Every structure is written in structure tokens, then in C-alpha cells.
Copies of this chain bind each other. A is one copy, B any other.
Amino acid sequence: MAPSSSSSASPVTAIRSAVDRELAAFCADHRAQVLAIGEELAPAMDALEAMIAGGKRLRPTFLYWGWRGAGGAAEDDRVARAAAALEFLQACALIHDDVIDNSDTRRGLPATHKRLAALHSDHGWSGDADEFGRGAAVLIGDLCLSWSDEMFQASGFPLPTLREARPPFDAMRTEVMAGQYLDTLEQVRGTASREAALRVMRYKSAKYTVERPLHVGAALAGRLDGLGAVYTAYGIPLGIAFQLRDDVLGVFGDPGTTGKPAGDDLREGKRTLIVAETLARAEAADGERFRSLLGAPDLSAESVAWMCSLIERSGALDACEKMIEGYAGEAVTALESPELDEAARRPLRELVVAATARTH
């Protein structure tokens, strides 16, 4: 008997090993280039490669299925390289994000700046270890950002094809940095409105993680004109749903799965949509107390439990779950477009399920 369709490779595994292989080859080549400048750069390269080795390869996956949905071939080293290039952009975003948010950990391991600060302490160097760690992490992120477009340009596609793919590639970078700036701004301004939270999600998550990678994939297959709108109609709601799921997990998630302590987003004071929904729905006194606890670095387990219970009691959690469902439905509907190549329809639908399921 033929294997059932549900047992076939997942949409992510379809590209994962090729992306991993291309990243490893690029890193090996560039490690040699960097160590020829100075062998003391080895720990910086180790930290960079540790970031590159991890992660779910979400953006490469969307680039790949954007390419397949536009009729691109199933196996093509060029698309694997172009997809892998997005991981360098993501590595920069995460390394710099952790510096900006002063986060200690990433994926359950020390953040890059913490890793470099530890190097400083271990050697007993002069000056402030944290300052050294931050500075080194800024530079390692800069290297990743440079290597992202270097790898993209060297992917091997014909030059006119690469030129077609530059507008979404360039827009993606500007959008994620602008979105990240707005996110930082909302946090210090304490805005916590639904509109503000949705705007950050749109740029920092939906466009950056889903829509633009799909657009780049379509452009590489020469079909951005025909598929741009379809991928926007799919990518924006999916990206928002995906971020909403992440926000819910950031409050209620199992630390063993998320790699972050329970209630971490509340301790960090993130102005997520679930927070905005809670504040919009809670009684005045509860809202006041919630607001005063949000972002307190020494937030106790009791306070986290009370905040979680308010998120549930106020109806904010249910509202978010309904939104996730609604956005996921929108994304699935967009896949009905006749423009989309049949090969990508089921994998893109599976990505909606995987990205918005209650545990992932």
C-alpha cells in the first residue's frame, strides 16, 4: 500500500536539510575568511554559528513554498541558498533584539551578548563584561545582516531574476526594523492599544515572517505579479494568527516547550494584543493593577498567576483564540486562488495549522 498522504514529509522538512546544508557551507567558508583576519575571532564565529544552527527555518519554509506555489521546481540548490539567506537576517534580528531587550536567554541558551560577556569574565579582561558582550553582539549581528544579502546575491539565480526579487527582499528588512522600533516605542510609551499591537504584529511578524518570504519566492519563480496579492491575503492573517499564538504561549505556555520562564512576556512588559484585550475588557481597578504589574522585573509567581487569571476572566484569552481561528480561516480561504500551483496548496494549509495550533 502507498503511504497515506498525511505521513509524507511536513512542509518544513521539505526544505530544512537543504537550508541547513547551505548555511553550513556558507559558514565554513566565511569562518575561514574571518579567522584569516584574526584567530581571536573564533568565539565570535562560534556564537554566530550557534544562532544559525538553531531555529525553526520558518522564513526559508515560506520562501520555498512561495516558490513552489509559483511553479518552482521541488529541488533547486539556488532556492535553498536564497531561503537560507533569510536565516542570516533572522539571526541579526534575534541577536540585536536580545541586546535591545536585555534578554538573558534565547531558545533556552544564553543570548549572544551574554555568551560574549561570559567570555570576557572567563578571561578576566578589563572593563565591563556586559558592555563588551553587548558591543560584540552588535557586531556579530551586523556580520549576519551583511551575510544575508551576500548569500542572497550569490544564490546562483540569473541576475535579472535576483533583481525582481530585491524589492520584497529590501522591503522585508526595512519593515522588520521599523516594526521592531515601533515595538520598542510602544513598550516605553505604555500604549497598549489594540491598534498599536496589531500594527507591530503586521510589520514585525506578518510581513517579515510570512508575506515577504512568500513574495521573494514568487519573484524568484518570475510570478510576483500573479501571486503577490494571493500571498498577501494568505500571509498577513496567518502571520498575525501566528504571532497571537506566540503571545498566548508567552503567557500560558509551558516553559519546557517555549524555552522561556512562565509569564516571561508579562515580566518583560510586552505590549501584546492579549494585554491590550485584557486592559480594554477589565474593570478599572483590575486594569490599574494589571498595568502596574506589567513589566515589573521582580514580578512574583503569585502576581503572574493573578494576571493570567485576569486575562482569562476578562474574556481576553477567548477573544484571542477566536481571532486566531478567524485569521487562520482567512489564510486558508486565500489558498483557493487559481493562481496558486496545486503543489503548494496542501503544504501552505498545513503551515496554517502548524503555526496556530494550541501547542507547537
Chain A residues at the B interface, C-beta cutoff of 8 Å: 30, 33-34, 37-38, 40-41, 44, 92, 96, 99-102, 120, 123, 125-127, 131-132, 134-136, 138-143, 145-147, 149-150, 153-154, 159-160, 162-163, 166, 170-171, 173-175, 177-182, 184-185, 187-190, 199, 203, 295
Contact = CB atoms under 8 A, between A and B. Distances in A.
A120 B190 CA distance: 12
A134 B138 CA distance: 11
A282 B99 CA distance: 40
Given A127-B188, A131-B102, A188-B126, A178 B138 contact: no
A138 B99 contact: yes
Contact of A40 (B147, B174, B182): B182
Contacts of A177: 139, 142-143, 146
Contacts of A143: 174, 177-178
Contact of A173 (B102, B123, B146, B179): B146
A342 to B, nearest CB: 33
13 contacts: A34-B174, A37-B182, A37-B199, A38-B182, A41-B178, A96-B138, A96-B139, A102-B131, A139-B177, A153-B166, A154-B166, A159-B159, A159-B160
Listed from nearest, the 10 A-B pairs whose CB atoms lie closest are A100-B135, A159-B159, A125-B188, A146-B173, A37-B178, A150-B170, A149-B149, A127-B188, A139-B181, A143-B177
A120 B143 CA distance: 29
Contacts of A41: 178, 181-182
Given A41-B182, A125-B189, A150-B170, A142 B145 contact: yes
Contacts of A184: 132, 135-136, 139
Contacts of A30: 174
Nearest to A34: B178
A38 to B, nearest CB: 5
